[in-house]
Amino acid sequence: MLKVLLKKQMYEMLSGILTNRRTGKRRSAGALAGFAILFAFAGISMSFGFGALYLLTATTLAGGPDVPGQLLPVEYGGLYFAFTGIITLMLGIIGGMFTTYSILYMPRDNELLLSMPVKPSVILASRMLSVYLMIVIYTVLSYVPAVAVFFISSGFRTDVLLMSLVMYIAMTFFVLALSCFLGWLLALIAAKLGSKKVVTVVSVLVTAFAYYFFYFGRNQVMKLITDDPANAVRVFRTTPLLVFFSYGEGSGGSWLYFLIFLGIVAASMSLAMLLLSGSFIALVTTRKGRKKKVYVARTARTNSALGALFRREIKRFVTDPGYFINSGFGSIVFIVAAVIAAFNTPGLRSLIASMQNPAGEGPSVAISPAMLPVTVLSATALVLFWTPISASSVSLEGNRLWILKTMPVSTTGILAMKLAVHELFAGIPAAIFVTAAGIILEMGVLPTVLLCVAALSFAALAGSFGLMLETHNPKLDWTDENVAIKQNYNVLFVMLAGFGITTLFGAFIPICMFFPVVLIPALVFQAAVAAGLSVLFFRISARLWETL
Amino acid sequence: MLKIENLTKYYGDKAAVKDLNLSIAPGEIYGFIGHNGAGKTTTLKSIAGILKFDSGDIYVDGHSVKADPIACKKVMAYIPDNPDLYEYMSGIRFLNFVADVYGVDAARRGELIQRYGDALELTDSLAQNISEYSHGMKQKLAIISALIHEPKLILMDEPFVGLDPVASHTVKRLMREMCDDGGAIFFSTHVLEVAEKLCDKVAIIKNGELIRSGTMEEVRGDESLESVFLELQE
């Protein structure tokens, strides 16, 4: 039975890749190769990023760059892997944790499967496959460079290769267990309180906490390791970081910690399975605490047709935890970054001043003030493309697409409202962020204004690009809403495009470094190109919508 | 009210509807019957503007669906066989959303929501989220949402599926009232008894082609509609 359900789950996941939904036909080998290349490009790009971070850690532990040829000391191998374990866990959480609730408890085929002679644990296990594969896809991007850098730094060891592989697999199950706990907790809250809004609030709080914990926690751990590795080992052993230390030492060749970590994972998974399968039927069928609201007629507040569509898009975005967390995370990042920057204004200003007027020894080069706006714009563009709100907005219509298609509203009106919501939740926070950056870093009035316009243009570009992909190949046949968000290749392509756009427009950073006079034309050019492309993509989207 | 001229729609190489011609006058309830996969839903979706068709044209209240789809949609409503609605909305929010899009003023929508909500016994549940509705309740809500903008033409795909006998009876009454007021209804059904009792005219479609249409008397003659239908399907 598990095999049958796993096949169904795999089919659901792969159908978007293997089949063209518009024609219903199997994709050509060329199209599949294109998919593979894009995936590989994204994976390799991210792996290189983590590799650079791990190389820095290994080099520091080996005594720093001033000690050429120095190998990573054997006693710090565990510490090194412990650090990579933290990053791996963080990626796994991004990959799996925040959609576990929806994937495990919210699919539309709950009643169908429960009516069949299938044990709840088997239903759960098959659904966990989706979560698990997402966790593996994300975490492998950290594991591969971690092992590669270790071998570069301290030489190849077969035992480390095998043990680290087992530890990595165990880590993916550890993340799965954590994801299941959170999913179960959200399902429990939803069933007891009967409100999805509470689930949204809890999800946002957990996300914010996790982001804070990992971002600042990672920096603290990095500092701890680089300041005094011997002390770091002591801290790791005597705090909850022991989990990572066991992972690290186990990967590095210690049988004792290898077994300890396997024990921790086995206990976590057993507990998770016990908890979830014992409560599954109750949680997916209970509607406790939901008091029936009786409608009381009152005069409705009317809206224009476009206003109604706009409000509908907003409502869907803010009431769907999966959509909000996965696609709107950049909005939170912009606002949090602006607030943090505002609180650290003196520090940031002195940092920039020291970079512009370097003193002391070393081959330091003074950076030009003209570099700042274009650098901020590049970073903003990247985060904007990593806020793919519009890139699942058509797929989310699912079987309800008929409602929009039968309404007397123009295609441009429908798509414009989707884009408007993208601008509201991505463009406006980005504009706030760049304005704050402009003021805090004293960029001047004109560059700040242009930066703001450019940020809104890039938001429109990311939004219209997402719409174009969505109207070309939407994922409408989902049984679980999260499939339209998390397993939607349009989202991935928008995020990949972010790399391309940042690389392309990032060329203005060195140009402005050497020719500061081109700053204003560079900002105007970037804003104009982004706006022009947005209009083009939007028009294509409108044409494609007609064929849906 | 509705004129279909040489409608043809292909899915790949397969013709789902071939050269279909049909007219519906104001005041008529027109039944559309045929076996599964005969082309009923494709025809209804083509009229509603959900599906693009390959040739021919459809006119709703004199407007071409091809040339002026918005004008057609303004005077038309569509109720699908499976009412997938926005589950993140409450019933009343959904109705207000539909009323906003069709520009129904606050007083009129309040009056119509109350009237149809009471008729279909859904008023008390309108504050609830649609996700909590049963299939029948969703069907009732879809019917109310179709009626609150007072369309001239309603397209219904299997409208009685999931409705309890009381609601089913009420919907038939509302359909009759709407047509008596000058509206028109084109609906598909597999329940031949319903078609026989309710419809002024009926069309039978087989493998995408209209094989018989006209008034009930013209189509069935002295036989029952079921006998005629079964004969024609052989």
Each residue of A67-80: pLDDT tens digit?
Answer: 555 566 767 788 88
The residue with greater pLDDT, A312 or A91, is A312
pLDDT at A366 > cutoff 80: no
pLDDT at A520 > cutoff 60: yes
The answer to whether A288 contacts chain B (CB < 8 Å) is no
Out of A305, A309, A319, closest to residue B88 by CB: A319
Out of A294, A302, A402, closest to residue B124 by CB: A294
pLDDT at A241 > cutoff 90: no
The answer to whether B96 contacts chain A (CB < 8 Å) is yes
**Percent of chain A residues past pLDDT 70, beyond the cut:** 89
Specify the amino acid at residue A108: R
Q: In this structure, are residues A440 and A341 in contact, taking their beta carbons and an 8 Å threshold?
A: yes
Contact B88 A320 (CB under 8 A): yes
| pTM for this prediction | 0.76
pLDDT at A102 > cutoff 90: no
Lowest mean pLDDT among A97-101, A473-477, B21-25: A97-101
Out of A23, A302, A406, closest to residue B106 by CB: A302
Please provide the average confidence, as pLDDT, over all residues in chain A. 84
Task: Collect all residues of chain B within an 8 Å Cβ-Cβ radius of residue A301.
Answer: 106
pLDDT digits (tens, 9 = 90+) for A483-510: 788 778 888 889 888 888 888 888 888 8
In angstroms, the separation between the Cα of residue A131 and the nearest Cα of chain B is 24
In angstroms, the separation between the Cα of residue B126 and the nearest Cα of chain A is 5
Give chain A's radius of gyration (CA, Å).
Answer: 25
Specify the amino acid at residue B61: D
Place of tokens 């031949």: B192
> At A232, is the pLDDT very low, low, confident or very high (cuts 50, 70, 90)?
confident
Best residue in A108, A302, A306, A313 for a mutation probing chain B (most B CBs within 10 Å): A302
Token output for A285: 């069928």
Contact A300 B106 (CB under 8 A): yes
Mean pLDDT, rounded, for B83-110: 91
> At A148, is the pLDDT very low, low, confident or very high (cuts 50, 70, 90)?
very high
Token output for A135: 């966790």
At A507 the pLDDT is 87
At A360 the pLDDT is 55
State the alpha helices, DSSP H only, in A388-444.
401-405, 411-422, 428-440
Contact B100 A316 (CB under 8 A): no
Lowest mean pLDDT among A111-115, A431-435, B66-70: A111-115
How many Å apart are CA A422 and CA A428, to the nearest integer?
9
The residue with greater pLDDT, A434 or A40, is A434
pLDDT digits (tens, 9 = 90+) for B30-76: 999 988 888 999 999 999 988 889 999 999 999 999 999 899 999 99
How many Å apart are CA B211 and CA A285, to the nearest integer?
47
The residue with greater pLDDT, A212 or B129, is B129
Burial category of A209 from C-beta neighbours within 10 Å (exposed 0-12, middle 13-18, buried 19 and up): exposed
Lowest mean pLDDT among A456-470, A482-496, B180-194: A482-496
Token output for A221: 């751990």
Lowest mean pLDDT among A312-326, B68-82, B168-182: A312-326
Q: Which of residues 161-190 of B touch A (CB under 8 A)?
A: none
> At B188, is the pLDDT very low, low, confident or very high (cuts 50, 70, 90)?
very high
How many Å apart are CA B56 and CA B51, to the nearest integer?
13
The residue with greater pLDDT, B135 or A216, is B135
Mean pLDDT, rounded, for B108-121: 93
Q: Which of residues 54-93 of B touch A (CB under 8 A)?
A: 70-71, 73-74, 76-78, 80, 82, 84-86, 88-93
Mean pLDDT, rounded, for A389-411: 92
How many Å apart are CA A435 and CA A433, to the nearest integer?
5
Burial category of A273 from C-beta neighbours within 10 Å (exposed 0-12, middle 13-18, buried 19 and up): middle
Mean pLDDT, rounded, for B25-33: 92
Question: By CA distance, what is A546's nearest residue in B?
Answer: B52
Q: What is the count of residue pairs from A and B with beta carbons less than 8 Å apart?
A: 100
The overall longest dimension of chain A from CA atoms, in Å, is 79
Lowest mean pLDDT among A56-60, A178-182, A211-215, B136-140: A211-215
Helix (H) or strand (E) holding B222: none
The answer to whether A547 contacts chain B (CB < 8 Å) is yes
Contact A407 B101 (CB under 8 A): yes
pLDDT at A65 > cutoff 60: no
Task: Collect all residues of chain A within an 8 Å Cβ-Cβ radius of residue B78.
Answer: 402, 406
